[in-house]
Amino acid sequence: MLPCFGAMPTVLYPKINGSETLACQCPDYSCQVVYWYRYLEKNNSLQFLMFSNSAGREEHGVDIKSTRFKGSVSSGQKLLYSLRISGLQDDEAGLYSCVFRSKHEMPVGYYIKPGVSLPTPPPPPPPPTVKTKKTVGTCRCRNPSVSPKGCEHSVLWPSIGALLLLAVALAGTLYYFSRLPKKCRHRFTKPNHLR
């Protein structure tokens, strides 16, 4: 049965006959022995690969070649165990991980897929379209019957000015003629019939 992990393992895509190096880090210095195993997809079987200790001693499982599976350990702030696998074949696809003897925790591990092409990421989504607001420019009313919104002031104010100028001119003309002296060319007299 495939172990269940809370996190996803790292997926590796080596070429056929390629190699991979897997790392397994101990949270402290109490991890003196590490066990490496794999869960193969082809027959759904769990297989013991090897164990190694902090002194560099190794023992391999049944039918596991020590020339293809090599362990190492390095110490720094924490102990780091590594497993180098060479000559990977397509039937060796599966989950590879380690277990520390003194810990009750199991690292997530690696999912190795020899000979499988790295999947291409989906294309990025297109950038969001930005709607630009139309700017209201200067009014150029060519057709007097169609006046765009915002152009009324260009037609209305000159018309009012012309009407006011006409009214002033008319009022001035009427005032001028009203001030002229009144002359009468014909004097009518009443006929006197009594003579």
- Report the relative pairing of strands 110-112 and 10-12 from DSSP bridges: parallel
pLDDT given for residue 86 in this prediction? 96
pLDDT given for residue 55 in this prediction? 86
With respect to residue 36, please indicate whether it lies within any of the assigned structural domains: yes
Could you list the residue range(s) of the whole structural domain that residue 167 is in?
152-180
pLDDT per residue over 72-81, tens digit each?
998 877 888 9
Q: How would you classify residue 45: left for phi > 0, otherwise alpha for psi between -120 and 50, otherwise beta?
A: beta
With respect to residue 90, please indicate whether it lies within any of the assigned structural domains: yes
The closest alpha carbon to 37, from 18, 50, 26, belongs to 50
Same domain, 25 and 106: yes
With respect to residue 186, please indicate whether it lies within any of the assigned structural domains: no
Give dist(CA 79, CA 56) in Å, integer: 12
Structure tokens at 18: 């390629």
Overall domain count for the chain: 2
CATH number for the domain spanning 97: value is: 2.60.40.10
pLDDT per residue over 151-181, tens digit each?
555 555 566 666 666 666 676 777 677 776 6
Same domain, 108 and 29: yes
Same domain, 17 and 80: yes
* pTM of the predicted model as reported, rounded to 2 decimal places: 0.58
With respect to residue 105, please indicate whether it lies within any of the assigned structural domains: yes
What's the pLDDT band for 2 if we cut at 50, 70, 90? very low
Q: What average pLDDT does range 1-30 have in this prediction? A: 80
